[in-house]
């Protein structure tokens, strides 16, 4: 099976702009989680989508949003970009079939630079 893919891989934006990142999970996986990775804060949970519904949300401002489509692909959007939003954005997918915790498989990430 193909792994988790993310597009674009690199992105440069300026403050105030908005950005949309895409994540395609492993075929058959129904849950997609998003994480922000920075040198200072490490890996922080943004939100998780399952069956097109946001099931969990981390402690990020409302400028960060997401959605999931019927084919389980997910997008996240960041509006009114700030310099501090520069980070590697990782998505991870899991089967979510058993109701319990399952392995999350990560994509390669989208590196966002805000100037």
Q: What are 100's two structure tokens?
A: 């319990």
Give the interface segment with another protein, choosing from 18-26, 50-58, 65-73, 76-84 (CB under 8 A): 50-58
Interaction of residue 33 with another protein, rule CB under 8 A: yes
Total site size for another protein, rule CB under 8 A: 30
**Binding residue (CB under 8 A) for another protein from 21, 96, 112, 114:** 96
**Binding residue (CB under 8 A) for another protein from 58, 65, 73, 86:** 58
| CB environment 46-71: b (16+ within 10 A), e (fewer) | bbbbbeeeeeeeeebeeebbbebeee
**Binding residue (CB under 8 A) for another protein from 1, 42, 62, 70:** 42
| DSSP-assigned states of every residue in 6-68 | EE-SEEEE-TT--EEEEEEPPTT--EEEEEEEETTTEEEEEEEEETTEEEEE-S--TTEEEEE
The residues binding another protein (CB under 8 A) are 4, 31-33, 35, 42-45, 48-50, 55-56, 58, 90, 92, 94, 96, 99-109
């Amino acid at each position: 099976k193909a792994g988790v893919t993310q597009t674009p891989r690199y992105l440069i934006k300026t403050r105030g702009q908005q950005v949309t990142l895409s994540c395609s999970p492993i075929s058959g996986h129904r849950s997609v989680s998003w994480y922000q990775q920075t040198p200072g804060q490490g890996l922080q949970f943004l939100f998780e989508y399952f069956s097109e519904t946001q099931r969990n949300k981390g402690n990020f401002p409302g400028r960060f949003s997401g959605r999931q489509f019927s084919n389980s692909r997910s997008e996240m959007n960041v509006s009114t970009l700030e310099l501090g939003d520069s980070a590697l954005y990782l998505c991870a997918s899991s089967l979510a079939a058993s109701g319990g915790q399952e392995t999350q498989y990560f994509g390669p990430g989208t590196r966002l630079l805000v100037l």
